[in-house]
Amino acid sequence: MTDILFVKPVLPRAGALVLPLAEGFTLDGLAKQADEATGGAISRGLEAAGFKGKKGQATTLWAPGGHLSRVVAVGLGAPGGGMGAAEAAGGAALPLIASEVEATVAAESLPAEEAAGLALALRLRGYRFDRYRTKESAEDKPKLVRVTIAVPDVAAAKAAHAPLSAIADGVFLTRDLVSEPPNVLYPAEMAERCRGLEKLGVTVEVLGPAEMEKLGFGALLGVAQGSAREARMVVMQWKGAADDAQPVAFIGKGVTFDTGGISIKPAGGMEDMKYDMAGAGTVIGLMAALAGRKAKVNAVGLVGLVENMPSHNAQRPGDVVTTCSGQTVEVINTDAEGRLVLADVLWYAQHRFKPRFMVDLATLTGAIVVALGHEHAGMFSNDDTLATQLSGAGQAVGEKVWRMPLGEAYDKALKSDIADMKNVGGRPGGSITAAQFLQRFIDTKDGAMPWAHLDIAGTAWASKDGATVPKGATAFGVRLLDRLVAEHYEG
């Protein structure tokens, strides 16, 4: 784990020196000192490398003189690029310094917030899940233990970095959970890991099958019944505001492995379905982030944890289950299980907590990947204000959402001949009919209930490195929802 330190500018004696530079830069401060100390090797090197400070551009100058083993220049793009540019530069720098033990970033010309943002990006990009690598050579392992960020105002940079550091911790928790293999991370184990949030001041309640049976969670338990692993629901509460202040609520799909059940999935790529708990993993990391930075909000996080397996005891296509709302569902396809889990948890969350809004996250449909690829999560909402707030927060942190439609005509596809609804609506608009299904478990009988559903099937896992997201579990949604809360629901 890399430590981040903010200090007054002092030329480092060893390791790497990172220079974040905007287009049209002139070397000043530490960069200028280093250039002079190396007899102009840095300015000559940057010139020779064609380094212009373009956004995302990165160049390494090896052993330019003195004791520095390398200088890494990273582009900030056009001057005034703000947080986005600072994050892009931090993310681009990390792979180029990962094999150093120490690095110093000459961030004197960046505002404190951007220096902190650059540090956040370094940490986020440096994430690795290596718990199960026993044979990696020391040479191949990243060595970076300390990054020193040189800034003019140390106190301001530290203050800006403190909440970001808590957010990074939340992101890492989510990435760890999502990366864990499904034999290790099953519902009871995932619930156990939620208990870890207690040390941050989060209240954690774990419910087992008997308790959920009493609550009438027929849909969630129907999914779980094929598995030897017991289901869990975890309720996490963070109280950062007045005791009686209405909370905001986040609900996550936590299918620790989705075989499809009796409607079994094809073998190819089925291992990916270990990340079918990413919605729940994101809610857990978000709660850690909010508590970690002591957000001035009351927030509840609820996750429904099950494993979807085929077995002699598994639910069958054609089964009818009764949800805790009292509505019945004909299970046409046992692979449309996420919505069954969420149906019970959404209804329960709303009626127990009467929240200001509910946002659910779920790797719900392959159809959303077809529609939006891996660039945007699908957003479905019954509330224009909440939808606008989510779009803005997503833009700000680089976790983008794209609003999809809801409507009566789509809802009709869920009509069942035997029950109140069926759990699939056919191939056309598959992610929309899934969202329509969820909306049937948002109760507007006693007035509006702002709700948004984020289908993160295409964004929860990355197959290639991004600026602040190494390939693998992304934790998409932690930064987005933290930002939503910070911008609109605190104080």
Contacted by 367, from ligand BES, Mn ion, Zn ion, none: CB < 5 to 8 Å by type: ligand BES
- 253 known ligand binder: yes
366's CB contacts (< 8 A; 6+ apart) are 430, 457
Smallest Cα–Cα separation from 239: which of 169, 300, 162? 300
- Identify whether the C-beta of residue 463 lies closer than 8 Å to the C-beta of residue 373: no
What is the smallest separation between the CB atom of 267 and ligand BES, expressed in angstroms? 14
CB atoms within 10 A of CB 33: 16
Query: Cβ-closest residue to Mn ion?
Result: 335
- 335 known ligand binder: yes
Question: Which parts of this chain interact with ligand BES (CB under 6 A)?
Answer: 258, 276, 333, 335-338, 363-367, 369, 424, 430, 457
In the 8-state DSSP scheme, what is residue 337?
-
- 417 known ligand binder: no
The residues in 316-355 that bind Zn ion, with binding defined as CB under 5 A, are 338
What is the smallest separation between the CB atom of 431 and Mn ion, expressed in angstroms? 13
- The verdict on whether 339 is a catalytic residue reads yes
Nearer Cβ to ligand BES, position 100 or 455? 455
- 319 known ligand binder: no
The residues in 274-313 that bind Zn ion, with binding defined as CB under 5 A, are 276
Specify the residue for token string 């009566």: 408
- The catalytic residue among 125, 232, 339, 422 is 339
Q: Is 335 in the site for Mn ion (CB under 5 A)?
A: yes
Specify the residue for token string 């959970």: 177
Smallest Cα–Cα separation from 122: which of 6, 287, 289? 6
Nearer Cβ to Mn ion, position 230 or 335? 335
User: What is the helix (H) or strand (E) element at residue 285, kind and residue range?
Assistant: helix 278-292
Smallest Cα–Cα separation from 238: which of 228, 229, 248, 230? 248
Nearer Cβ to Zn ion, position 174 or 259? 259
What is the smallest separation between the CB atom of 457 and ligand BES, expressed in angstroms? 4
Q: Tokens representing 486?
A: 């910070």
Nearer Cβ to Mn ion, position 258 or 482? 258
Contacted by 104, from Mn ion, ligand BES, Zn ion, none: CB < 5 to 8 Å by type: none
Q: Tokens representing 282?
A: 């994101």
3-class DSSP assignment, residue 176: helix
Contacted by 457, from Mn ion, Zn ion, ligand BES, none: CB < 5 to 8 Å by type: ligand BES
Contacted by 424, from Zn ion, ligand BES, Mn ion, none: CB < 5 to 8 Å by type: ligand BES
| Pair type for strands 16-22 and 102-106 | parallel
Half-sphere exposure of 236 (CA within 13 A, CB side): 35
Separation between Cα atoms, residue 467 and residue 77, nearest integer Å = 14
| Pair type for strands 298-308 and 232-239 | antiparallel
Of 234-242, 249-257, 319-327, 346-354, the segment contacting Zn ion by CB under 5 A is 249-257
Binding residues for Mn ion (CB under 5 A): 258, 335, 337
Binding-site positions for Mn(2+): 253, 258, 276, 335, 337
Residues annotated as part of the active site: 265, 339
Binding residues for Zn ion (CB under 5 A): 255, 258, 276, 338
